[in-house]
């Protein structure tokens, strides 16, 4: 039997921003930095047209059943089997704006469909707090075959 993951990490409202520029201003107003890679894919995402409040959970790869780590495809499958949805594309930027009390050294990968950058590479957002550089919205190359360690953390939406 698969373990259910139901401890809510945060409730985040999406569908509040009129455009990417207003979303970016909100992130910068929170004191966070947006990497060039994240800026690139920000211009590729679609914003929700409707306001909605989503409950987020943050399981580790190990909590999803992979104590030795695994590929992204397995992480997403395990999340789905435990009642978790992939996040809307705007969740990475919106979480970065709202999560100003993130612990130092924490890095959260946002579980979304892969987002193509301006040269066609697949990427995912990450929300990070660096001891030297502060709060960041970053993005990195990823694919269904990308490997993640057991301690890596993913943000999913909890099904209601």
Query: 127 phi and psi, to 5 degrees?
Result: -110, 120
Domain total of the chain: 1
On whether residue 82 sits in a domain, the answer given is: yes
CB count within 10 Å of CB 145 equals: 8
Residue 120's SS3 state is coil
User: What is the per-residue pLDDT for 1?
Assistant: 38
Domain annotation covers residue 23: yes
Residue range 11-25, pLDDT digits in tens: 999 998 989 999 999
Integer Cα distance of 108 and 99 in angstroms = 11
How far from each other are the two terminal CA atoms of the chain, in whole angstroms? 20
Residue 105 and residue 131 in contact, taking contact as beta carbons nearer than 8 Å? yes
Residue 149, in any domain of the structure: yes
Q: pLDDT-based confidence at 160, cuts 50/70/90? A: confident
Structure tokens at 150: 């057991």
| Residues making up the chain, counted from first to last | 160
Is residue 148 within 8 Å of residue 64, measured between CB atoms?
no
Residue 57 within a domain: yes
CB count within 10 Å of CB 35 equals 16
Domain that holds residue 137: 10-158
Whether 132 is covered by a domain: the verdict is yes
Write out pLDDT tens, residues 63-107.
999 999 999 999 999 999 999 999 999 999 999 999 999 999 999
- 1 lies in some domain: no
Give pLDDT tens digits for 140-150: 999 999 999 99
Could you tell me if residue 14 is inside a domain? yes
The reply to whether 3 falls in a domain is no
Mean pLDDT, residues 28-36 = 95
**Residues paired with residue 54 on neighbouring β-strands, in sequence order:** 12
């Amino acid at each position: 039997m698969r373990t259910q993951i139901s401890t809510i990490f945060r409730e985040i409202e999406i569908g509040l921003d009129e455009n990417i520029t207003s979303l970016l201003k909100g992130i910068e107003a929170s004191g966070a930095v947006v990497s060039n890679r994240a800026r690139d894919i920000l211009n590729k995402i679609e914003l929700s047209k409707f306001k909605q409040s989503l409950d987020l959970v943050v399981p580790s790869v190990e909590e999803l059943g992979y104590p030795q780590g695994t590929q992204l495809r397995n992480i997403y499958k395990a999340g789905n089997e435990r009642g978790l949805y992939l996040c809307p594309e705007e969740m990475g930027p919106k979480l970065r704006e709202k999560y100003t009390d993130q612990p130092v050294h924490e890095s959260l990968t946002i579980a979304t469909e892969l987002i193509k950058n301006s040269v066609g590479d697949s990427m995912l957002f990450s929300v990070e707090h660096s001891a030297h550089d502060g709060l960041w919205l970053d993005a990195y190359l990823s694919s269904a075959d990308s490997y993640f360690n057991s301690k890596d953390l993913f943000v999913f939406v909890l099904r209601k």
